[in-house]
């Protein structure tokens, strides 16, 4: 039996391979095959080459998970898929209540029947959530800083500056299983599969991954200073007590349309210039995972 270790070299601010190599001390005496995930072009071929007892260990963060789940559509998987978190945010790991540095664990059940988001002509599965509004703006700015300097990104600083000076709230229409509702001064309107996004923000604190629906969280109807008083409470999930400004709805299909476009993020991956998105629970599983 061998263990194929798929690592993302850019995970964890560029330390992805070194972090994955720590598994050599965990699996002493095992046959380990380290593979840069960015070099894998055909997952059907990869899994067809494995014996049923072989295991695949996915090493990276939430973006790596997103890339993987969108690369295995219609691929038959008969092997155990394990996850070893080496990212910088690790919201999926946090959502499962596992500590940073936890040993690899099986995720086959977690990558089945995942929801889809339709945005700008794309259809993508997601495992944590979609950010739309100032959360997408923060990802856009963070990408620019990273590409220009390679520095570690402080999203809290970006968010504060965005709230105070740069990001303008939008009017938004949120359609929840066919019923539309309009909101003014919307700062964010994410749709969530899990509880966490953004490196520890518990934006949907009452969710469980067993739920068959999705949750849309709408922050609306407040000015800049008011939002600044609410934002810190998102890390503890207590923002939901601000019922005049925070609404949460549950549905199997959610569409959010802003009156002016802004950036969106899918499990931390940025999509620019988005006017609307639609998120749906999966009608069937595109990946055939045992």
Mind listing the pLDDT tens digit of every residue in the chain (290 residues)?
899 999 999 888 788 899 999 999 999 999 999 999 999 999 999 999 999 999 999 999 999 999 999 999 889 899 999 999 998 889 999 999 999 889 999 999 999 999 999 999 999 999 999 999 999 999 999 889 888 886 777 788 899 999 999 999 999 999 999 999 999 999 999 999 999 998 889 999 999 998 999 999 999 999 999 999 999 999 999 999 999 999 999 999 999 999 999 999 999 899 999 999 999 998 755 556 66
Q: Which CATH class is domain 117-289?
A: mainly beta
Angle at 33 between CA 27 and CA 34, to 5 degrees: 100
What tokens does 127 get? 């495992």
* Residue boundaries of the structural domains of the chain: 2-111, 117-289
- 22's CB contacts (< 8 A; 6+ apart) are none
* Burial (0-12, 13-18, 19+ Cβ within 10 Å), 50: middle
| Of the candidates 196, 204, 285, the residue with the CA atom closest to the CA atom of residue 246 | 204
Q: What is the pLDDT, as a whole number, of residue 13?
A: 77
Q: Is the separation of the CB atoms in 270 and 264 below 8 Å?
A: yes
- Residues constituting the chain: 290
Q: What is the pLDDT, as a whole number, of residue 288?
A: 65
Q: What is the pLDDT, as a whole number, of residue 284?
A: 59
Q: Is the separation of the CB atoms in 128 and 193 below 8 Å?
A: yes
- 68's CB contacts (< 8 A; 6+ apart) are 6, 37, 58, 111
**CATH topology for the 2-111 domain:** Rossmann fold (3.40.50)
**Nearest-angstrom CA–CA distance, 115 and 124:** 8
DSSP string, 97-144: TPPTTPPPEE-GGGGSS--EEEETTEEEE-SSEEEEBHHHHHHHHHHH
Q: What is the pLDDT, as a whole number, of residue 185?
A: 98
């Amino acid at each position: 039996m061998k263990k194929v270790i798929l690592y993302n070299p850019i995970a964890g601010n560029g330390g992805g391979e070194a972090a994955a190599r720590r598994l050599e001390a965990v699996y002493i005496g095992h046959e380990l095959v380290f593979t840069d995930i960015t070099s894998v072009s055909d997952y059907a071929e990869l899994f067809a080459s494995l014996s049923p007892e072989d295991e695949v260990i996915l090493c990276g963060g939430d973006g790596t998970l997103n890339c993987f789940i969108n690369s295995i559509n219609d691929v038959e998987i008969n092997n155990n898929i394990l996850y070893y978190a080496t990212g910088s945010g690790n919201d999926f790991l946090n959502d499962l209540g596992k500590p940073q540095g936890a040993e690899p664990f099986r995720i086959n059940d977690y990558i089945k029947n995942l929801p889809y988001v339709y945005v700008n002509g794309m259809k993508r599965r997601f495992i944590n959530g979609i950010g739309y509004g100032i959360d997408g703006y923060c990802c856009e700015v963070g990408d620019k800083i990273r590409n220009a300097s390679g520095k570690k990104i402080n999203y809290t600083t970006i968010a504060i500056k965005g709230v105070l000076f740069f990001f303008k709230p939008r009017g938004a229409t949120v359609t929840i299983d066919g019923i539309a509702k309009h909101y003014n001064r919307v700062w964010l309107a994410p749709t969530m599969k899990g509880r966490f996004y953004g490196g520890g923000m518990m934006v949907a604190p009452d969710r469980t991954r067993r739920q068959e629906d999705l949750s849309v969280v709408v922050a609306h109807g407040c000015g800049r200073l008011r939002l600044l008083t609410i934002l810190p409470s998102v890390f503890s999930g207590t923002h939901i007590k601000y019922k005049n400004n925070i609404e949460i709805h549950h549905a199997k299909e959610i569409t959010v349309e802003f009156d002016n476009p802004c950036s969106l993020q899918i499990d931390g991956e940025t999509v620019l210039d988005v006017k609307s998105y639609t998120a749906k629970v999966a009608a069937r599983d595109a990946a055939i995972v045992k």
